[in-house]
Amino acid sequence: MSGRDLPPFQHMQDFLSFLETENDLRQIDAPVDVHLEATALHQKVIALGGPALKLSAPKSEDTTKFATPLLVNLFGTRKRVANGLGLHPGSLPNLGNFLASLRSPQPPSSLRDAYKLFPMAKAGLNTRPKRISSSKALEAVRPDLTQLPVQTCWPEDAGPLITWGVVITRSLGADDPRTYNLGIYRIQVLGPDKAIIRWLPFRGGAHHYRQWQEKGETMPVAIVIGCDPATLLSAVIPAPGNLSELALAGIFNGTPSRLAACRSIQMHVPLSSEIVLEGEVRPGEIALEGPFGDHTGYYNDAAPYPVFHLHAMSMRKDAVYLSTFTGRAPDEPSVIGEAMTDIFSPILRQAIPEIRDVYLPPATCSYRFAILKIDKSYPGQAKRAMMGFWSLLPQFSMTKYVVVVDQDIDIRSWDEVMWAIATRSDPERDLLVLEGTPVDQLDFASPREGLGGKLGIDATVKIGAETSRPFAEKLSMPKEVEARAEELMTELVNADYSGASVQ
């Protein structure tokens, strides 16, 4: 492949124009309330695999109309996630192969091979983000968060929530974009110039915060709401190795990220930003965040997180405000997560070659359950695959259940997976139970916060020393009989029922 399949999307607007030509963006001019209504509409559209929605007349409960349109469901289908990265959906595994080669233990030669897979990445990788002193496209506006159509997603939510803010933080010392971390962390609006940022303790933003806090220094923070799609997705994808999110965005775009200087803090933001919030987080100033509805399908507990003070705000002319909801799947993070499986699969295969494919069903909060397909050749191999999976990437340590199946099972079909469990596993022999392992902090089922068990189920056909009985033969039809039955089926489906008979 030649890298990107699609033309570059320098700005959000370029991507929206592309989606329009694909009939993948709809504008709704009727007023839509940012309090609950936008979420309820979004839920219905995403469940149908529907288009991105530009709500041109967002309003709030007290009938205030907002000047900025609300954009939701931008990455609500696998196709739009791939398109945002500049790819057709079928190319996602290629991207995964490229990222896997970046993790390879022999970087120089593997990089040459990697560039063959993804030539445009060279420009993105080899060049630092380009800094531009300021951007004329971004106009300063009165810093007031209440002017934005911020959604309140669920009835018991603690308040309005910025859901798609790219939070940019940096290391202590001089402003160096190579140290930047970009992550999407939800932001609870407390007032016109005050908010709470919820970066979970193991996130890049939290890591930077600890550095500044230890020195007792105030930390500059920039928040970007809406920008070019590759940068948005780079802030969500766990970047391989030491690659920064800006470098990853450069790879997807085929050009280094271009950055504009902030007005009030020593930081830079992507030149493509739609809305920029500049401010600071002071050492030790925290407030109770939440509760908010989350991807688990439940409300989280309130918990303490740092307070953000807004200093300056700027917007592109005709900016759109990007938002989403998080809730039980399907929501946008679950759709993105499913597309990301294509990217992780080659990384897994590289480390544990017998793993042929992996699937993380969105219905299981996207990461709490994993199905591994393996090419099994020796006894005990399924258990090795489970242990390898749990320890390979940090995020896989949050997966509570791992089911391992053989190559003949379609891991995206619950019926097939359940059939394999029902017919190929024995609870006495094939369960691997672990105690006291790290689990998701948001998992209310674990007896202690952040610590709980894991279960592996070996649902592969038992071989060698695993069993003393021969395994039964699987039912199947000869190929030619299958082919004839297919033919007959086609005729049956196409038959005119006004009397014609199948020949």
Ligand X SMILES: Cc1cc2nc3c(=O)[nH]c(=O)nc-3n(C[C@H](O)[C@H](O)[C@H](O)COP(=O)(O)O)c2cc1C
Q: Which is nearer to ligand X, 246 or 374 (CB)?
A: 246
The distance of Cα 356 from the centroid of its chain, to the nearest Å, equals 22
Quick check: 57 and 67 in contact, CB under 8 A?
no
Record the tokens describing residue 439, joined without a space.
């689990």
Alpha-carbon distance values, 338 to 117, 142, 226, 265, 358 (Å): 22, 39, 22, 37, 10
> What three-state secondary structure class fits 40?
helix
Q: Whole-number minimum distance, CB 44 to ligand X, in Å?
A: 18
Q: Which is nearer to ligand X, 273 or 334 (CB)?
A: 334
Helix axes 107-117, 92-102, angle to 10 degrees: 170
In the stretch 107-146, what mask flags binding to ligand X with x, by CB under 6 A?
----------------------------------------
Alpha-carbon distance values, 296 to 76, 253, 444 (Å): 18, 32, 10
Q: Whole-number minimum distance, CB 200 to ligand X, in Å?
A: 4
Q: Which is nearer to ligand X, 97 or 163 (CB)?
A: 163
Q: Is 392 in the site for ligand X (CB under 6 A)?
A: no
Q: Whole-number minimum distance, CB 234 to ligand X, in Å?
A: 9
Q: Which of residues 147-176 bind ligand X (CB under 6 A)?
A: 163-164
| Residue choice 76, 124, 205, 293 for contact with ligand X (CB under 6 A) | 205
DSSP character for 147? G
Q: Which of residues 231-260 bind ligand X (CB under 6 A)?
A: 236, 238
Rounded to 5 degrees, what are φ and ψ at 279?
-175, -160
Quick check: 143 and 313 in contact, CB under 8 A?
yes
How many residues sit close enough to ligand X to count as binding (CB under 6 A)? 20
Q: Which of residues 394-453 bind ligand X (CB under 6 A)?
A: none
| The amino acid at 405 | V
Q: Whole-number minimum distance, CB 109 to ligand X, in Å?
A: 29
> What three-state secondary structure class fits 224?
strand
Q: Which of residues 333-352 bind ligand X (CB under 6 A)?
A: 333, 336
The distance of Cα 303 from the centroid of its chain, to the nearest Å, equals 23
Q: Which is nearer to ligand X, 118 or 292 (CB)?
A: 292
Q: Is 324 in the site for ligand X (CB under 6 A)?
A: yes
Find where tokens 């009985």 sit: 469
| Residue choice 52, 55, 99, 184 for contact with ligand X (CB under 6 A) | 184
Return the beta strands (E) in 317-423 as ranges.
321-322, 355-359, 369-374, 401-405
Q: Whole-number minimum distance, CB 167 to ligand X, in Å?
A: 8
List CB contacts of 36: < 8 A, sequence separation 6 or more: 152, 153, 154, 155
The distance of Cα 80 from the centroid of its chain, to the nearest Å, equals 12
Q: Which is nearer to ligand X, 117 or 200 (CB)?
A: 200
Q: Is 80 in the site for ligand X (CB under 6 A)?
A: no
Record the tokens describing residue 135, joined without a space.
């951007």
Record the tokens describing residue 206, joined without a space.
């939290």
Stretch that binds ligand X, among 29-37, 133-141, 181-189, 484-492 (CB under 6 A): 181-189
Q: Which of residues 23-52 bind ligand X (CB under 6 A)?
A: none
Q: Whole-number minimum distance, CB 461 to ligand X, in Å?
A: 36
Alpha-carbon distance values, 343 to 172, 217, 318 (Å): 32, 38, 34
- Taking the C-alpha atoms of residue 246 and residue 250, their distance in angstroms, rounded to an integer, is 6
Alpha-carbon distance values, 39 to 71, 73, 143, 331 (Å): 12, 10, 26, 10
> What three-state secondary structure class fits 211?
helix
Residue of 24, 33, 294, 458 with catalytic role: 294
> What three-state secondary structure class fits 152?
strand
| Residue choice 42, 186, 368, 424 for contact with ligand X (CB under 6 A) | 186
- Taking the C-alpha atoms of residue 266 and residue 175, their distance in angstroms, rounded to an integer, is 6
| Residue choice 1, 57, 117, 200 for contact with ligand X (CB under 6 A) | 200
Q: Which is nearer to ligand X, 51 or 333 (CB)?
A: 333
Q: Is 101 in the site for ligand X (CB under 6 A)?
A: no
Q: Which is nearer to ligand X, 229 or 456 (CB)?
A: 229
| Residue choice 18, 66, 180, 185 for contact with ligand X (CB under 6 A) | 185
Q: Which is nearer to ligand X, 244 or 273 (CB)?
A: 244
Q: Whole-number minimum distance, CB 138 to ligand X, in Å?
A: 23
Q: Which is nearer to ligand X, 98 or 199 (CB)?
A: 199
Q: Whole-number minimum distance, CB 274 to ligand X, in Å?
A: 16
- Taking the C-alpha atoms of residue 53 and residue 21, their distance in angstroms, rounded to an integer, is 14
Q: Which is nearer to ligand X, 98 or 185 (CB)?
A: 185
- Taking the C-alpha atoms of residue 487 and residue 464, their distance in angstroms, rounded to an integer, is 40
Record the tokens describing residue 211, joined without a space.
């550095």
Q: Whole-number minimum distance, CB 492 to ligand X, in Å?
A: 45
Q: Is 204 in the site for ligand X (CB under 6 A)?
A: yes
Q: Whole-number minimum distance, CB 470 to ligand X, in Å?
A: 47
Annotation marks residue 294 as catalytic: yes
| Residue choice 326, 341, 345, 399 for contact with ligand X (CB under 6 A) | 326
Which residues carry out catalysis? 294
Q: Which residues bind ligand X (CB under 6 A)?
A: 163-164, 181, 183-186, 198-200, 203-205, 236, 238, 324, 326, 332-333, 336
